C-alpha cells in the first residue's frame, strides 16, 4: 500500500494522509496516519571538482559546482573534467515509514551529470529517523557554468 508523499522540498515539509481501512461490526472505518518529512541538511565535498557550495532554500537543494579550466592567451578556455559528491539528509517527521526513491534534477547545466548511489536509491526511513541520499556529480570537458537544482521524490 502506498500513497505518494509528493515532493520533499529542501527545508520544507510535505504532508500526505495514509488511509488504513478497518471493518468494525460490518461498518468501514478509517485510521489516519500523517506522512511528512523535510530536508534536514545538504553538504558537498571538494575533489577534482568543488561541490562545497550547497544550499537548501525551502523549495530546492541547489549546488553551485566549480570545476577547473585551463586558460591560454589567444585560445578558448578548456574545462578540466572532474567530480565531487553531495549528501542530502532527510528526516521523517511523520507517523509512517517513507521510501526516499530518487533525486530529480530540475536544472542541470550542459556537461554535468548526477547519479545517486545504488546503495541508497530506495531508503526506508522510519518515523522520527533520518537517512542520507548520496549523489555523485561529474563535469565533462564540455561543462558550462551554472547551478544544479533539484529535489528528492519520496513515497509512503
pLDDT digits (tens, 9 = 90+) for 67-78: 888 888 888 878
Residues 114/49, Cβ–Cβ less than 8 Å: no
- Per-residue pLDDT tens digits for 80-95: 899 999 998 888 888 8
Residues 8/133, Cβ–Cβ less than 8 Å: no
- Per-residue pLDDT tens digits for 8-59: 334 433 333 333 443 444 445 566 667 777 788 889 999 888 999 998 865 5
Domain coordinates of the chain in residue numbers? 4-155
State if pTM tops 0.95: no
Express the helix, strand and coil content of the chain in percent, nearest 5 each.
0, 60, 35
Q: What is the 3-state secondary structure (H, E, C) of 3-46?
A: CEEEEECECCCEEEEEEEEEEECCEEEEEEEEEEEEEEEEEECE
Rounded Cα–Cα distance for residues 12 and 16 (Å) = 14
Amino acid at each position: 500500500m502506498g500513497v505518494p508523499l509528493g515532493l520533499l522540498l529542501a527545508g520544507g515539509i510535505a504532508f500526505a494522509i495514509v488511509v488504513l481501512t478497518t471493518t468494525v461490526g460490518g461498518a468501514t472505518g478509517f485510521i489516519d496516519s500523517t506522512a511528512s518529512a523535510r530536508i534536514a541538511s545538504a553538504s558537498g565535498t571538494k575533489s577534482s571538482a568543488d561541490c562545497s557550495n550547497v544550499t537548501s532554500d525551502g523549495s530546492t537543494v541547489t549546488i553551485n559546482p566549480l570545476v577547473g579550466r585551463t586558460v591560454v592567451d589567444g585560445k578558448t578556455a578548456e574545462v578540466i573534467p572532474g567530480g565531487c559528491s553531495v549528501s542530502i539528509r532527510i528526516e521523517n517527521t511523520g507517523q509512517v515509514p517513507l521510501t526516499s526513491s530518487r533525486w530529480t534534477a530540475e536544472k542541470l547545466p550542459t556537461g554535468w551529470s548526477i547519479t545517486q548511489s545504488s546503495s541508497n536509491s530506495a531508503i526506508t526511513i522510519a518515523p522520527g529517523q533520518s537517512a542520507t541520499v548520496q549523489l555523485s556529480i561529474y563535469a565533462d570537458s564540455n561543462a558550462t557554468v551554472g547551478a544544479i537544482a533539484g529535489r528528492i521524490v519520496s513515497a509512503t
